[in-house]
Structure 1
Amino acid sequence: MKPLFAIPGDKALEQSVYLIKEITQPFFSTEFHFHHECQLVYVEESAGRRIIGDNISYFESGELIFVGSGTPHVWHNEQKYFEGKDQLQARSLALYISPDLLLEHLAPFVNTAAVKTWLKKAQRGIQFHGKAKAEILALMREMLQQQDLTQTISFITLLQKMMTAKEYKLLAGTNYVNLYNDKDQSRMDDIFKYIFRHFKRDIPLSEIAAIAGINVHSFCRFFKSRTQQSFTHFVNELRIGYACRLLQEKEMSMVALSNKCGYRNTTHFNRFFKKIKGKTPREYKREVSSLD
């Protein structure tokens, strides 16, 4: 799935520093895309897989993430959302910020060096939690009910809260750089969607290379140059993320868990889980259980 260069669909943002709105859809967009505007997203209601830069994780209702300028991203819903079952909806609260206009309007009043540094850091994607998340979300909700100067004051306060927050996690890798180009569009779109549908079973390199329309050697080089990780590592991260979600939701044996996540034996499953999460599945399960 090559990230499309996208423009948020609202003309008001072309002349405004920021724009906040509520979004309700049957499912989130499935296109891996990027745009010049920064984006703060709170997921009101939804679940699925999320990619930000080179980070791939499961998401659910209640997450708050800031995506910096030019960073490829997608929130891809679970299959049941596309089937129209159970009256599911994808609801979010989104704040778009023009980084250029923000710096231009702040420059007469403050030294913008710190803002520029923070915007650069935000290109890795920032996930807020704890008290910081609660305070930022409260300001987003207030902005929805406000106008003009009152709303702008809340926006500046929100910006300051994000910049000074201590409770956050950076998502993409330290050296992540967006290396996608327009010629990759349909090929990466096909690759990612195929992986999302079939990651619970073995996907031979010859099979995924055929989806991309190139030979195995070319595919390995192409995939790593665009995602900055190997195909095998990408699939393992997706599987382990799925395993973490199952460990949070269900009681099952390690054998059943590893099989459900696409591993033929528990030895491989345990090794990859510890490599990616820094702990064994049982240790992860104990930590999750202790939070209940």
Structure 2
Amino acid sequence: MKPLFAIPGDKALEQRVYLVKEITQPYFSTEFHFHDECQLVYVVESAGRRIIGDNVEYFESGELIFVGSGTPHVWHNEQKYFEGKDKLQARSIAMYVSPDLLLEHLGPFGNISNVKAWLKKSQRGIQFYGNAKAEILALMQQMLQEQDLQQTISFITLLQKMMTTKEYRLLAGTNYVNLYSDKDQSRMDDIFKFIFKHFKRDIPLSEIAAIAGINVHSFCRFFKSRTQKSFTHFVNELRIGYACRLLQEKEMSMMELSVKCGYNNTTHFNRFFKKIKGKTPREYKKDVSQLG
């Protein structure tokens, strides 16, 4: 997958340390991609599945995530966003940061080793929560109304808050490494789009390998080398993420839930749920209810 020198459509970023803007579209870009710029995204209104590095999760309105330089990512909306029936929108506030220019401009002010270390850590993807999320979002909204020096002061304050808060979690695995190459782009796009559309049913390896245009053995090796997880595990993560969403929204039996998520029986569903989430579906439901 080809790394982009700058965010498409924002040539101004080539000369700037940062750029913040509001984005409103019928749906988010479906291209699984990476670029040199870091990206801070607050989802104002949207829902679907998100991939950051080797992390695969369900996303919805209200999440705030910083994606470091060179980390493959995509926010892929649910199918209903592409059908255009319910007038849904994908709205976000995004800030792009050039890590090279940031370090270059901060260098004359003193030791920047801590900034370098944080930028390296951010390549795993950082999700903020709690008071930190509220404070960072407030600064992003403030920057939209500011210009010049005042906006830069807010940016430095925001950067300091992201670097020092303890209210965050890292998304990609400790040993995640971006192994994508230029020729992977269209193939991985086709694979992910097909999986997102069909993950609730059984997807034979022969079928997904045909989508990729390679044989089954080559597909298994290719998919694991790029995502750093097996195809089966990837699909199970998608299904369990979907199950978590349903557990938060609806009351249904475990049998009904397992079928909706692509499992033929509750035994397999419970086993994969506990393996991925560390607790049973009932325990997860109880925890979510207590939070509410």
Shorter-chain TM-score range? over 0.9
**1:157 CA drift (Å):** 0.3
- What pairs with 1:220-259 in structure 2 (closer than 5 Å)? 220-259=220-259
Aligned mates of 1:86, 1:195 — CA distance in 2: 23
Give the aligned partner of residue 3 of structure 2: 5
**1:87 CA drift (Å):** 1.3
Matched, 1:260 2:251: no
- What pairs with 1:169-248 in structure 2 (closer than 5 Å)? 169-248=169-248
Aligned mates of 1:151, 1:56 — CA distance in 2: 34
Give the aligned partner of residue 280 of structure 2: 280
- SS of the equivalent of 1:134 reads helix
C-alpha offsets along residues 72-120 of structure 1, whole Å, 9 cap, x if unaligned? Answer: 0000011111111221110000000000000000011021100000000
Is the CA contact 1:4–1:32 (under 8 Å) kept in the aligned structure 2?
A: no
Aligned mates of 2:107, 2:3 — CA distance in 1: 28
Aligned mates of 1:110, 1:60 — CA distance in 2: 39
Give the aligned partner of residue 133 of structure 2: 133
Is the CA contact 1:248–1:285 (under 8 Å) kept in the aligned structure 2?
A: yes
Aligned mates of 2:282, 2:114 — CA distance in 1: 42
Is the CA contact 2:32–2:185 (under 8 Å) kept in the aligned structure 1?
A: no
Aligned mates of 2:136, 2:248 — CA distance in 1: 26
Is the CA contact 1:42–1:65 (under 8 Å) kept in the aligned structure 2?
A: yes
Aligned mates of 1:290, 1:85 — CA distance in 2: 35
- What pairs with 1:100-115 in structure 2 (closer than 5 Å)? 100-115=100-115
Is the CA contact 1:27–1:82 (under 8 Å) kept in the aligned structure 2?
A: yes
Q: Aligned letter for 2:24?
A: T
Give the aligned partner of residue 78 of structure 1: 78
Q: Aligned letter for 2:148?
A: D
Gaps in structure 1 of 5+ consecutive residues:
none
Give the aligned partner of residue 53 of structure 2: 53
Q: Aligned letter for 2:176?
A: Y
Aligned mates of 2:120, 2:57 — CA distance in 1: 22
**1:291 CA drift (Å):** 1.5
**1:5 CA drift (Å):** 2.2
Give the aligned partner of residue 290 of structure 1: 290
TM-score by length of 2: 0.98
Aligned mates of 1:16, 1:183 — CA distance in 2: 30
Count of aligned residue pairs for this structure pair: 290
Is the CA contact 2:2–2:183 (under 8 Å) kept in the aligned structure 1?
A: no
Is the CA contact 1:54–1:227 (under 8 Å) kept in the aligned structure 2?
A: yes
Distance 1:225 1:56, change over 3 A: same
Give the aligned partner of residue 99 of structure 1: 99
TM-score by length of 1: 0.98
